[in-house]
Amino acid sequence: MSELRWDPLQREWVTVAPWRQDRTYHPLKADCPLCPTRAGEPETEIPEPDYHIAVFENRFPSYTGDQGRCEVVCYTSEHDSSLGAQSVEHIRDLVEVWQDRYTELKGLPNVRYVFIFENRGEEIGVTLSHPHGQIYAYPFVPPRVAREVESSRVHHQETGRCLYCDVLAGESGGERTVASHDTWLAFVPKFARWPYEVHLAPREHAGDITELSEAQADGLAQLLKSVLQKYDALFAKPLAYVMAMHQRPHESSDRDFHFHIEFYPPNRSADKLKMLAGSELGAGAFILDARAEDTAKQLREIGS
């Protein structure tokens, strides 16, 4: 079982899972464990000749047993594809898969937070190139979310309003808008830490992915596709990113936490990466050399 160690200085949990050293590292396409099983070949993680969307438990999990769960979500059986290359209907099916897994995982004992995310691209250390995301069911509420919960609570106490609803209202001028839909908005937040960071949020308040209306779930599929297509067109190559879904912790009674998705691409240009260094890692203070208004304009103008 993995070991949780408490850092009393940062007041955060650190997880130690030594077996992850042995995880599959850049296999050849023919040995991809996320491709469907080919006739006459050894079984992959998915013992089927084809699939639409597949979910299974990570063989090299960070959390196991009564500490939580780690799942892999294969977006498509096609090895050389991506989330953004899927049809809106396919992404809409994925939203439903996310909703199902969220509901199931939050019900497991000792699970305090269900985190849906994707790591994409070798630039951020991805070891399997097959299009896939992950879901971690943590035995604690992770610190970035805990801090957002606290900020939302304080803001609500002070103003009576949802913090993120106010952030969205502040974006109504459109200067930092990347793409929009009736039910969703995508923008580079004024306070972005990464040059091409993008947030996606439902315009109407919802706390987690299962609280989305049909129209909001449809809007999410459409807006995800347009943002991802813009990302890949930006430097005319697949853009690396981390996608992080921030949802209200399922045990929280606060109704004012607003569901949103954050994307952090490491690139600051086609061939230059923003590296986290002294100020960011040592002091926790991000410094960037791009204005959100300029990068948002660049993204907004792609394909429109």
Are 202 and 212 in contact, with CB atoms under 8 Å apart?
yes
H runs (alpha helix) in the chain: 88-106, 143-159, 163-170, 214-234, 283, 292-301
In angstroms, give the least distance from the CB of 214 to Zn ion.
19
190 binding Zn ion? (CB under 5 A): no
Q: What angle do CA 271, 273, 230 make, to 5 degrees?
A: 70
Give the active site residue among 26, 79, 130, 132: 132
Q: Indicate the burial class of 153 (C-beta count within 10 angstroms; 0-12, 13-18, 19 or more).
A: middle
Rounded distance between C-alpha atoms, residue 124 and residue 273, angstroms: 10
Q: Which two tokens stand for residue 288?
A: 């960037």
Q: Which of 79, 90, 112, 268 binds Zn ion (CB under 5 A)?
A: 79
Q: Which of residues 198-227 bind Zn ion (CB under 5 A)?
A: 205
Q: Which residue number, 68 or 202, has a Cβ lying nearer to Zn ion?
A: 202
Q: Is 132 an annotated catalytic residue?
A: yes
Tokens at 13, concatenated: 């949990």
Give the helix/strand (H/E) hosting 4. Answer: strand 3-7
Q: Which residues from 103-132 bind Zn ion, rule CB under 5 A?
A: 130
Report yes or no: 235 and 270 within 8 Å, Cβ to Cβ: yes
Nearer to Zn ion, 67 or 256 (CB): 256
Rounded to a whole number of angstroms, the minimum distance from the CB of residue 130 to Zn ion is: 3
Task: Decide: is 32 part of the binding site for Zn ion (CB under 5 A).
Answer: yes
Query: C-beta of 110: minimal distance to Zn ion in Å?
Result: 24
Q: Within 10 A of 197 (CB to CB), how many other CB atoms are there? A: 22
Residue with Cβ nearer Zn ion (63 or 75): 75
Q: Which of residues 42-71 bind Zn ion (CB under 5 A)?
A: none
Which of 35, 239 has the CB closer to Zn ion? 35
Footprint of Zn ion on 232-291 (CB under 5 A): 246, 258
Residues that bind Zn ion (CB under 5 A): 32, 34-35, 79, 130, 162, 164-165, 205, 246, 258
The set of catalytic residues is 132
